[in-house]
Structure 1
Amino acid sequence: MLERLELEAFLMLAEELHFGRTAERLHVTTARISQTIKKLERQIGTPLFERNSRHVGLTEAGQRLRDDLRPAYEQIEASLEKATNAARGVRNVLQVGFLGAAAGQLIVQAAQLFGRRHPGWRAQPRELQIVDGLRRLRAGDVDLLVVSLPHNEPDMVTGPVLFSETRVLGVSSRHPLARRDSVSLEDLTAVRMLQVAEAFPDYWRADRTPALTPEGRSVAPGPQFETLQEALALIDAGEGAFVMGAQVSRFYARPGVVYVPFSDAPPLEWVPTWLVTNTAPRIQAFNQAAQDITTRVSLDISR
């Protein structure tokens, strides 16, 4: 039977694909995480991660275990949270999902303001992965989700833009483009563009991983990824590049990855979205809190 640390360490490492960041999030040492994973692999009888000095990745057995364990773990966490909220006298909880650290920074501050304005209510920030954000919103795991445009889902409503950021190209530090002060959309022909797994709609994928430049030149596709950490590992290894927001230079600094700003690409804009069928007043109340936070506090999304 898995101990709690084994379960959390495995799922966190499966998400981060980095022992140091996993240790930081769980408030233990990197050595403790390494020992815990090795113990788990001995217990199961097969490697769960492939690791070397530059890369950590899930094995096929690790992927299966992650997919089997995550739903059960999330259900347990949700039950514990409900019990905790009941003990604290919090009657209602608004689950607010976010993708990326800058959105998370905003959501945490907005949640605090929302709680002060609406006694008996609590907004719970929930970090989601890029490939399952829309699915989790549709499944009811979160009530609200902060996403980047474009966003055009018929069953969802979008609120006003909360913040925007410059687009940058994440590229290996060994690539010639890494030595440039800026890049253009035409420069995408010089790299392979990493592909987001199929969970995201075609219009979003076309915006972030275009097949053609504005002048109609072909852009070569690269490997697929499911999480930002997977994308960064692939970029570090020279397997491709990806278009991201400038927040990565602050929150996701990595020695082998350089973030070069675009000179001719529009900024990335972030908005709240929720299901058309969810007409609860608390949605608008939280959106108002988020808007008020953005007018009062700088998110400091890039250095």
Structure 2
Amino acid sequence: MTPISTLSYQGTPVRLRGTMLNLTDMWRAAGRPEDRRPADWLALEETTRFRAYADTHWTELDEPVAPDAGLAGIWTIDTDGLVAVAGGHGGGTWAHWQLALPYARHLSPAFHLWCNTTVRAAMERPAPQAAADPDPLLPHLAQHFRDLHRRFDTIDRHAADLMFLALSGQELVLGQRREFSALSRTILTRVAAAEPYGGQCPCCARARVLAEDSRPMPGAEFDHFFHRGLNRPEHGWLVCAACHGELTHGGYLVRFARTPEFRAFQALVLERRRRARSGAGGQPR
């Protein structure tokens, strides 16, 4: 594994790893200018034009991240090999020095001059040999975690696409809005009043949806989670006005992101209905 060297600019650390510099550290060292964050600079037309040209004309690009770099966090490497993003504590955006030095110029003349001297000098020094990893299992596990990370991303995308298709089919079949019945509203209200919600919005867990008398607060809505034509208790929940607006106008991806919260609410709805059916005489009906 290529070791990480840490330089210091006016007391702020700037990490260097082989040919890669940490752009997040550079931004902090230059005073954290709000309009010059790494993501903003990488999105500039001038930057993307250079990356496109380098991707097709530069054949001397070094390997930006070693295969076992996952030990330092989950890495996402851009296809051109010039930019990598590391998650977790101490991560950030890394870039090849061919991009990092122009970014230093973008930040400030003083910082650019420091990078052209101190950083380049550090890069030209022979890299110290990394100590041998005493446990060969760690790189093996790190690779598996990276693979799982990519697979979970793929599963999430496929699940979101399936939800979009389901909602589109419901739109064609179900048609107009059907209001929740009084019984359905009572069930949803009682679940929202009970633990763990205690009258708080089950979607955001911030705003109240029930007043002290267990009546819905002004603006609270009985939301149709799947489709406005499905109005049984298992098809909805009681949410605050802000969440209802987000779920209504945010598209299917917003609803997909809130599926875990809705499923947790519905587990309590189903449990309450099961107990109600088993009520009289102790026999389910």
TM-score range, shorter chain: under 0.3
With a CA cutoff of 8 Å and minimum separation of 6, indicate the structure with the bigger relative contact order: 1
More strand by proportion, 1 or 2?
1
Q: Given the two structures, how large is their TM-score scaled by the length of structure 2? A: 0.20
* Richer in helix (by share): 2
TM-score normalised to structure 1 length: 0.19
Mark the structure with the bigger radius of gyration. 2
